[in-house]
Structure 1
Amino acid sequence: MKTGRQWLWPSSLSGRLIATIALALLIGQLINAVLLVRIQHAQAQDRVAAEAALRIIAATERLEEGRPLRARSFDRMRRSPGVRLRRTDLLPANPVTAAMEQLPAVAERLESILPSYGVEYRQLVAGMTDAPPRPRRLARMAADIGGRDARQVRGLAIVAVQRPDGQWLTVRVPVPENSSRIGATIIAQTVLLYLVMMIPLVWLTRRIARSMGALREGVARFEATQEPQPITPSGPSDLADLTRSFNAMSARIATMLNEKDVMLGAIGHDLKTPLAALRVRVESVPDERQRARMADSIDDITHTLDDILSLARIGRTGEPLEPVNLGALVEMIAEEFVDLGHEVTVADAPRLVIPLQLTWIRRALRNVIGNAVRYGARARVSIARGADSVSIVVEDDGPGIAAGDIERMFEPFTRLEPSRNMATGGTGLGLTLARAALRQHGGSLTLANRQNGDGTMAGLTATLTLPVG
């Protein structure tokens, strides 16, 4: 089941690579859009400043020559309010009020232009107000002829220059609406970028993912079977080289494991044969007490040798999986301990049939329950079914294990009981074998101390977890 975070962000390498590049492209296009809008805004202010500068320079020259700002015929044509947005006036007071939107960038541009053309002034201000509506007839005519007034007007820029005589030379310049082409251009660019970059990227990442998936499956098969199964190199050269290296490594490991099995088989045969002969000769010892002690020692050596060989061969026995009723198996093992006089109880277990290597799971359960009755006097066993796993919980009433020693108990030949008496301390391989058997099935074995309400030690809990499905 995927969590909310996994839905928002893919977990696979190819998915994350595609999502990262797609997100980077989107962020890049958003930054590009912001920059283009700012450039468009700056260009609009430059156009306003350029037009205002030309009109102020022309009006200043007319005033210095003693000519009026506009011809009388022109005044009569433009008396109707709102007919023309561009006007040049000479006013006694500053028309730019504090309530208007100030245009400091336009003022700065004009301050750098006007002095070079000999325009003298005391003060220069610029602001923007709402544009008066234009009659529909003029708007339609402007649209038909495609003139400079054809675009919609966003506002009216008012630039006022205070002349040396105190009057304000004022020009009005329409500010057009921002072009909607930028948004369409950015969208078109984004779509084109995604088509040009994402399609090859998806093809490349899927190819890499297939190669990595084959390598991952090969590693999983080798982990489960410890038998080399060569993987066909594919994908980029780096992945192909990695696949070839894995094939060579797995072949070498399998050869070493086979040699180890042959060596252990020879050791087991060479040791067990003289042990069996020694066991026969022990029967001729006249002292019964000495004979029994010698026979027990030989049996302990044989048992330890069997555990060592079993631990070495685990995972390479070739034993097939078979459907096993886990509840019935646990009850059967518990009855074996009860028949030997131990106190073992099993809670009502659900019927659960899962594929297992019966020999190894039976041995793991015997080792864990045996430890519980050996060190904790009694064992209580229960089975809990999870969403995708099943847990077999074994509780005892023993002294527990120091927190720092819990993980150490899974190491070979580590015993909680410090003596070397196998009757009380075992071989030190029981938990090691049990954990190895569970890991062979994809499960786990954990130990945890259990405490009473007052903080005193109540015992140890061993949890054997197996996957279901």
Structure 2
Amino acid sequence: MIRRIVAWLWPDTLAARVVLVLLAGLTLFHLGSIWLHQIGTDAALDTTQEEQLAEQIAAAARAISAQPADRRAGLAHALSTANLDLRWTAEPVLPAAPHNDHRIASLEARLGSLLAPDSVRQVRLGPTGSGDVVALFGPGSSHAIAGAIALADGTWLNLRVLRFASAAVSRHASLLSTTAMALGILIVGLFVVRNLNRPLRQFAEAANRVGAPGVPPAIMPEKGPREVRHAAQAFNRMQARIDRLITDRTQALAAVSHDLRTPIARLRLRAGFVDDAETQHAIDTDLDEMEAMIDATLAYLRGETESEPRRAADLAAILETLCDAAADAGHAVRWTGPRQARLVCRPVALKRAFANLIDNAVKYGGGAQVSLDADADTMTVGVEDDGPGIPEEALESVFEPFRRLEESRNRGSGGSGLGLTIARQVVEAHGGTLVLENRAGGGLAATVRLPRSLAAGDAVPC
């Protein structure tokens, strides 16, 4: 469960991941710096307050000790403040008792050092829990400190003070400063990450154009950091090798096509001189099958390197023509669809793809029902038959090159095993999908979905 939550929260893009890590690091740094600043500020304030409080109490003790006895009580009251309450008495109200408060002990030691030259005999500090302290000063805060300072004549200056109290110090300025610094670093980080990701986006765009028909290769600019320059140089060299390989393969295919058709034509010519009509027919049939296999293989090998440009075509007319041709040949093929459906495509390639699907339906299903459904975004073509269908585990493997469920290659059911491969190749080159499904009532359904990304009146890329 935790792994699913982490996977859901973890961004998918590199830029988002870098920003998230940067933001997490800045947040931890921000909180840590505030905590350290708070600790340091509190420690400095406590030390300063302790020094000021000790000096204030020592000065009051000296002043009261210097006055006659009849004026000491009034002077103690006059020197009292909101945080420091002074009372002069003959006896101490705070009993001598040990305590383990190191802050009180520190203040006690500081007072002792300040009052030592004035012959102060004793300094007592402690919590305000004593009943005599409450009786003299009244109820007070639990955070207060009580004390008693023995003067030179044996009388006592009693005091009660808030524990290191001072005017509240606003920390909003430091918090605002640290927040502004974190936001500044985050903005700079976003800008840097965006610039670092730009070469990756350029690589992705250039890679998508490699081998695309009619699209010139994208040369990566060899600039930027050393690693980016090296990657761009390697990509450009790879692209040049791929382009040269495609060109060489295209030339080789043209040569093979010419060289194979020449002996087939000679054999067909010689078959015409055979006196036995049955033998002549058998030879012609074998040559037709050989030529069909060569055409299918060359069409598959050419793949997306074909130079056929995209143009506006009527897909409904293409499908209806294929269905009429199959029906004229004596096959049970039925067509349903609109009278017109304009699509920017490579019409020759699409015609070959749908011809393969209809031929498969006729060959293995005894007939075909071809339909076209067109909406604003997608054109859906269905080719259904009433044959035995395909095992569920083989619905994807039949698209592999030269893969045939029926292993024979006789004239009744033979073929090169490339029909479905070529059909899917052509459909995916148009940005569409080809899916095979077994029909509930028996038979096979081939569904082709083609996006209508360009309208008939738009500019047609080559």
RMSD of aligned residue pairs (Cα, Å):
4.4
2:410 matches 1:421: yes
Q: In structure 2, how many angstroms separate the alpha carbons of the residues matched to 1:228 and 1:55?
A: 84
What is the TM-score of this pair, normalised by structure 1?
0.70
Alpha-carbon distance change, 193 to 419 in structure 1, aligned in 2, over 3 angstroms:
closer
**Map of 1:217 onto structure 2:** 205
Q: Which amino acid aligns with 1:459?
A: G
Query: Is 1:85 aligned with 2:95?
Result: no
2:365/2:388 contact within 8 Å kept:
yes
For residues 23-69 of structure 1, the C-alpha deviation after alignment (integer angstroms, 9 at most, x for no partner) is 6435533443344345444555555666677789999999xxxx99x
Hey, what does 2:329 align to over in structure 1? 340
Amino acid at match of 1:36: H
User: What is the alpha-carbon distance in structure 2 between the residues aligned to residue 387 and residue 39 of structure 1?
Assistant: 68
Partner of residue 178 from structure 2, selected from 183, 186, 196: 186
Aligned to 2:235: 246
1:408 and 1:414 in contact (8 A); partners too: yes
Cα drift, residue 342 of structure 1: 3.2
How does 1:369-384 map onto structure 2 within 5 Å? 369-384=358-373
Structure 1 counterpart of 2:103: 109
The AA in structure 2 aligned to 1:110 is: I
* Residue 72 of structure 1, CA deviation: 1.4
Name the CA shift for 1:44/1:280 in 2 (closer, same or farther; >3 Å): same
Query: Larger Rg: 1 or 2?
Result: 2
Q: Do the aligned partners of residues 72 and 125 (structure 1) sit closer, same or farther apart at CA in structure 2, a change above 3 Å counting?
A: closer
Q: What is the rounded CA distance, in whole Å, between the counterparts of 1:112 and 1:75 in structure 2?
A: 24
Q: Does 1:159 align with 2:145?
A: yes
Gaps of 5+ in 2: 1-8, 113-121, 130-140, 150-157, 454-462
Matches within 5 A, 1:282-321: 282-321=271-310
Shift of 1:253: 1.9
1:36 aligns with 2:34: no
Aligned partners of 1:459 and 1:286: how far apart in 2? 44
Match of 2:264? 275
Q: Is the 8 A contact 1:218 1:229 kept in 2?
A: yes
The structure-2 alpha-carbon separation of the partners of 1:188 and 1:261, relative to structure 1 and needing over 3 Å to count, comes to closer
C-alpha distance after superposition, 1:364-409 (max 9, x if no partner): 1111122223223343334455775443233333333223322221
Q: What is the rounded CA distance, in whole Å, between the counterparts of 1:78 and 1:115 in structure 2?
A: 22
In the alignment, structure 1 residue 465 sits paired with structure 2 residue 449: yes
The reply on whether 1:260 has 2:252 as its aligned counterpart is no
Aligned residues: 406
Q: Counterpart amino acid of 2:394? A: D
Code of the aligned partner of 1:437: V
* % same residue: 29
Provide the residue aligned with 1:433 in structure 2: 422
Answer yes or no: is the 8 Å Cα contact 2:337–2:373 preserved in 1. no
Alpha carbons of 1:332 and 1:71: their partners in 2 closer, same or farther (altered >3 Å)? farther
Q: Report the secondary structure of 1:464's partner residue.
A: strand
1:355 aligned residue (330, 344, 347): 344
Find the aligned partners of 1:373 and 1:229 in 2 and give their Cα distance: 44
Asked whether the 8 Å contact 2:93–2:148 carries over to 1, the reply is no
Amino acid paired to 2:278: R
Give the match's secondary structure for 2:383: strand
The correspondence for 2:167, drawn from 161, 164, 176, is 176
Structure 2: which amino acid aligns with 1:304? M
Name the CA distance, whole Å, in 2 between partners of 1:383 and 1:376: 20
Could you tell me which amino acid in structure 2 is paired with residue 462 of structure 1? A
CA distance in 2 between counterparts of 1:326 and 1:313 reads 23
Conserved? CA contact 1:393–1:464, under 8 Å: yes
C-alpha distance in 2 between matches for 1:72 and 1:330: 116
